[in-house]
Amino acid sequence: MAKKLTILDIAKLAGVGKSTVSRVLTNDPKVKPSTREKVQQVIQDAGFVPSKSAQAMRGGSAKVVGVILSRLDSPSENKAVSGILDVIYAAGYDAVIMESQFCPVKTNEHLQVLRKRNVDGVIVFGFTDFDVKAVAEWQHKAVVIAVETDVVSSVGYDNTGVIQLAMDKLLAQDLRHISFVGVDPSDKTTGAMRLKAYQTCCEQADIKAVYGCGELSHDSGYQLTDKVLKKKTQAIVCASDSLALGVAKRLQELGRNDVIVSGVGASDLLSFIFPNTFSIDPGYFDAGKTSAELLIKQLAGQDSITHLTQTACLT
Amino acid sequence: MAKKLTILDIAKLAGVGKSTVSRVLTNDPKVKPSTREKVQQVIQDAGFVPSKSAQAMRGGSAKVVGVILSRLDSPSENKAVSGILDVIYAAGYDAVIMESQFCPVKTNEHLQVLRKRNVDGVIVFGFTDFDVKAVAEWQHKAVVIAVETDVVSSVGYDNTGVIQLAMDKLLAQDLRHISFVGVDPSDKTTGAMRLKAYQTCCEQADIKAVYGCGELSHDSGYQLTDKVLKKKTQAIVCASDSLALGVAKRLQELGRNDVIVSGVGASDLLSFIFPNTFSIDPGYFDAGKTSAELLIKQLAGQDSITHLTQTACLT
DNA sequence: CTGTTAGCGCCTTCAT
DNA sequence: ATGAAGGCGCTAACAG
């Protein structure tokens, strides 16, 4: 690893002025092709790499976007991040990633740091009581995933759709006794909205709503099963795959293999382990891609603040 | 968001020279406490944030480390990344994360980009045929996880230990008919090393080795079960939790609830769903922390190239 | 202790 | 089409 080369070094090496080298670097059209080629050759040979820090300082843009997610080990979020990375990287940006751990304070700290780093934009995975104001300051340089916000762009999941899809599929099979296992409505999206969707479906189909809510874990699903399971129950719709896993497990123990279980998340595990199950895909990966595309467009000034909803699909 | 403030602006605002402001920023001790306080006050009030780009350019260090992992949605890797993030962040660094998708070419591209970005160091998750040479150029500014390399520091998992631990536990229960399900030995670590560990254990315990290898998936575990399951089989040790999940599922189908299954990965799912199972924790999270600590020490010149092995434990 | 003065590496007028 | 010069925001000598 040779010592740090600068634009000036290769200017000398190529026998040109440093501005010409700069022009080559920025793809300025007003460079004689022959000169350009010569300079590029020298750059290659010398293994010169322009300093992003200097470019960033000069030009203002560091070509970096910050991503704040709540937990790296959340299957939904890391799928979305993969989508983000794909898009971001293809557009010549890089991502600095941070974990909020569902803590508003940490989130704001991270935003501070990202601001200081002069990142071009941020993508934040929202959670129930995160501080919208802090991200609002970023205006068009921010996109929030998973939570609706009016102040900045957002890409939400179709919390109603994921449940509707499951219900429709079950209703189409002429099932009339469908229970629901969700998470506490204090969680606005996975909790309240999905429960509401279930209730609405029940009303419309004129069937009785039977449900229970708890935490977002297998164990909670397992516990809640007995509460929502009646003799006539034909299916149990769950707000997430982890709940569904717990429910399916409990049903298996009880020998109720007749009851269909549905989850949300598109994990292959659920149906691999339990035959009588299916899962709805909220489109995590695509939501990630979408949000990244949105952000990049906004940074390029090609788009203004927008609110999108990722459509879900059956798996 | 007011316009860009610079160190000079707050220097004027505070009625001092800009170098004094700089000194405050860098915690230079030679500043009169009262002056320092005044400046800090102005910084607060004005909401000034020093530009990292400029600092990076001046000082040479951007306080960033690059992390190249193979897949974000690998439970093992994202646990490790969480560990890395914790440490990195506490040390005032940030992480830019990229996915190699097990592709040596992509990995090298990413390393290029990271170099161009002037990152202080890199942490790379190794995979079977990744290009050690590329990362070797980084010398003490790199740490490789999951694969042993002699040219740069590395933090490996105890591939022998994870299997030994499982075997010991089973042998202690006086079981003598223990099969193994692994992945193809073309994978050096999870494949070859763990198989070897199994074979060695068998030899030492003077029991017969019965094993099968395939891919790293539930399905593969499911398929291989019939191959390694004999009438007398008392336990099946698996090279990973996903394999174990498949094996346990198949055993359940076959009504062989007497057979104990072990996996590697410490996923809570395995034992939640299947009673007669346990999992070994290779210490992913800690390995992440360790590697980050190692890197930071090396960057500070406090440590030279080192090779560590993360110790595994029972869960 | 504090202000002044150079640059860091690059991009961008401004002349040529 | 190209070179010279200026400055981005900051830190690190060098003077007071």
Same domain membership, residue A129 and residue A186: no
Both tokens assigned to B279:
């999992």
Contact B272/A at CB under 8 A: yes
Residue whose entry in the numeric block shows the structure tokens 């940074």: A299
d(CA B171, CA B178): 9
- Residues 58-77 of chain A within 7 A of strand D, judged by CB, are 58
Q: Which residue has the tokens 């860098």?
A: B26
CA B41: distance to chain centroid?
41
> Are A85 and B75 an interchain contact pair (Cβ–Cβ within 8 Å)?
no
Q: Which residue of A has its CA nearest to B115?
A: A49
Q: B137 and chain A: CB distance < 8 Å anywhere?
A: yes
* Distance, CA of B56 to C1' of C7, in Å: 14
Residue contact B85–A73, C-beta within 8 A: no
Sheet holding A313-314, edge to edge: A210-214, A178-183, A235-238, A260-264, A277-281, A313-314
Do A34 and A139 share a structural domain?
Answer: no
Domain that holds residue B127: 64-158+284-314
- Strands (E) across chain B are located at 64-69, 94-99, 121-125, 142-145, 153-157, 178-183, 210-214, 235-238, 260-264, 277-281, 307-310, 313-314
Residue B199 has a pLDDT of 98
Same domain, A143 and A163: no
pLDDT of residue A3: 62
Residues A77 and A34 in one domain: no
- Quick check: is B75 in a domain? yes
Residue B18 CA to nucleotide D12 C1', Å? Answer: 13
Average pLDDT over residues B68-94: 94
Distance from CA of B64 to the nearest CA of A (A): 9
Residue contact A219–B272, C-beta within 8 A = yes
**Residue A110 within a domain:** yes
Q: Which amino acid would we find at residue A229?
A: L
Q: What is the C-alpha separation between A55 and A203, in angstroms, rounded?
A: 60
Q: DSSP state, B312?
A: P
Q: Within an 8 Å CB–CB cutoff, is residue A91 touching chain B? A: no
- Substitution target in A81, A135, A271, A273 with the highest count of B β-carbons within 10 Å is A273
Residues A214 and A303 in one domain: no
- Is position B179 within any domain? yes
CA-to-CA distance for B27 and B22, rounded, in angstroms?
8
Give yes or no: residues A218 and A179 share one domain. yes
Contact between residue B221 and residue B238 where contact means Cβ atoms under 8 Å apart: yes
CB contact under 8 A, B273 and A272: no
The answer to whether residues B214 and B166 belong to one domain is yes
Q: Is residue B16 part of a domain?
A: yes
Q: Phi, psi at residue B235, to the nearest 5°?
A: -155, 155
**Which nucleotide has the shortest C1'-to-CA distance from B48?**
D9
Share of chain B above pLDDT 70, in %: 99
Among the partner residues A1, A73, A82, nearest to B137 by beta-carbon distance: A1
d(CA B289, CA B287): 5
One domain, residues A153 and A288 = yes
DSSP B232-262: T--EEEESSHHHHHHHHHHHHHHT-TTSEEE
Q: Which helix (H) or strand (E) holds A154?
A: strand A153-157
* A307, part of any domain: yes
B35 touches strand D (CB under 7 A): no
pLDDT tens for chain A, residues 1 to 315? 556 788 888 888 888 988 899 999 888 888 888 888 888 888 888 888 888 888 888 876 788 999 999 999 999 999 999 999 999 999 989 999 999 999 999 999 999 888 878 889 999 999 988 999 999 988 899 999 999 898 999 999 999 999 999 999 999 999 999 999 999 999 999 999 999 999 999 999 999 999 999 999 999 999 999 999 999 999 999 999 999 999 999 999 999 999 999 999 999 999 999 999 999 999 999 999 999 999 999 998 888 899 999 999 988
Q: Which of A50, A78, A118 sits opposite B51 (nearest CB)?
A: A118
Same domain, A247 and A310: no
Q: How far apart are CA B125 and CA B102, in angstroms?
A: 9
Nucleotides of D under 7 A from a protein CB: 1-5, 7-13
B15 touches strand C (CB under 7 A): yes
| Residue A57 falls inside a structural domain | no
Residue B40 belongs to domain with CATH number: 1.10.260.40
* A17 lies in some domain: yes
Å: B20 CA to C13 C1': 32
**pTM across the whole model:** 0.90
Contact A20, A11 (CB under 8 A): yes
The count of domains in chain B is 3
Are both B90 and B150 inside the same structural domain?
yes
Q: What average pLDDT does the structure give for chain A?
A: 93
Distance, Å, A89 CA → D7 C1': 31
Residue pairs spanning A and B at CB distance below 8 A: 112
Does any strand C atom come closer than 7 Å to the Cβ of B112? no
pLDDT on residue A197: 98
**B240 shares its domain with B174:** yes
The domain that holds B224 is classified in CATH as 3.40.50.2300
Of B164-178, B204-218, B295-309, give the lowest mean pLDDT range. Answer: B295-309
**One domain, residues B229 and B246:** yes
Assess whether B55 (CB) lies less than 7 A from strand C.
no
Backbone angles phi, psi at A308, to 5 degrees: -120, 160
Strand C proximal residues, B:19-38, Cβ < 7 Å: 19-20, 23, 30-32, 34-36
Q: Is residue B56 part of a domain?
A: no
For the stretch B135-146, pLDDT in tens is 998 889 999 999
For the ranges A185-189, B2-6, B221-225, B230-234, the lowest mean pLDDT is seen at B2-6
Contacts of B249 in chain A (CB under 8 A): 272-273
Tokens of B70: 């193979």
